[in-house]
């Protein structure tokens, strides 16, 4: 169901098997979430593609990713935008992602170990912010780091489930919309 050719190209160019542990590597190309250690998962490829397609990236954006995880979505983004800034809170995941990203020769990615709920102010504002974990609400610092016209895509806990929300910075302020049910690890 993905129609954006640039997103499909990014998926084609990114070897998902490089981002999963050897014990589940044989399942790397299934459309399924897989464990990556430290209680975290790599989302299913269709979820990544949907996430990226809804942002309608042009290739010129500076993007903040909250939750580097395996680095898979980070590399997908690297094919779609001019610069990716990614924050991860788990040192072991960040180190593994850094090694894979370097091995693949990706140059337009900067990584930070830290609390993603505060964003990465040094390089703000961002044209797009993607959050790869669900919280009870949208962290205010992320909204503050959106550029004019910028979009923030974030899963938010609601009841027993989660909903994907898109926030846009307009001249009138922040506009919000819901894009449907999702399932992510906790923020």
∠ CA 168-169-170, rounded to 5°: 110
Instruction: Respond yes or no on whether the N-terminal peptide bond of residue 175 is cis (omega within 30° of 0).
Output: no
Beta strands in 12-145, from DSSP E residues, in sequence order: 34-37, 40-42, 62-66, 83-88, 109-113, 126-131
Sequence-distant (6+) residues with CB within 8 A of 155 are: 131, 133, 134, 162, 163, 164, 165, 182, 184
Separation CA 128–CA 21 (nearest Å): 29
Task: Please say if 46 is a catalytic residue.
Answer: no
Which one of the listed residues 6, 43, 78, 82 is annotated catalytic? 43
Whether 45 and 19 have beta carbons less than 8 Å apart is answered as: no
Show which residues are catalytic: 43
């Amino acid at each position: 169901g993905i129609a954006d050719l640039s997103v499909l190209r990014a998926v084609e160019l990114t070897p998902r098997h490089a981002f999963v542990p050897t014990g589940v590597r044989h399942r790397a190309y299934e459309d399924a979430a897989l464990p990556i250690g430290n209680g975290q998962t790599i989302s299913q490829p269709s979820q990544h593609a949907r996430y990226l397609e809804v942002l309608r990236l042009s290739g010129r954006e500076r993007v903040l990713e909250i939750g580097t995880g395996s680095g898979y979505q980070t590399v997908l983004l690297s094919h779609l935008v001019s610069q990716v800034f990614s924050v991860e809170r788990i040192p072991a995941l960040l180190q593994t992602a850094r090694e894979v990203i370097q091995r693949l020769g990706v140059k337009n990615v900067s990584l930070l170990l830290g609390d993603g709920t505060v964003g990465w102010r040094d390089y703000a504002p961002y044209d797009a912010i993607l959050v790869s974990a669900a919280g009870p609400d949208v962290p205010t610092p992320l909204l503050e780091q959106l550029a004019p016209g910028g979009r923030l895509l974030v899963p938010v806990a609601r009841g027993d489930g989660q909903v994907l929300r898109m926030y846009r910075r307009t001249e009138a302020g922040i506009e919000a919309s819901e894009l449907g049910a999702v399932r992510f690890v906790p923020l």
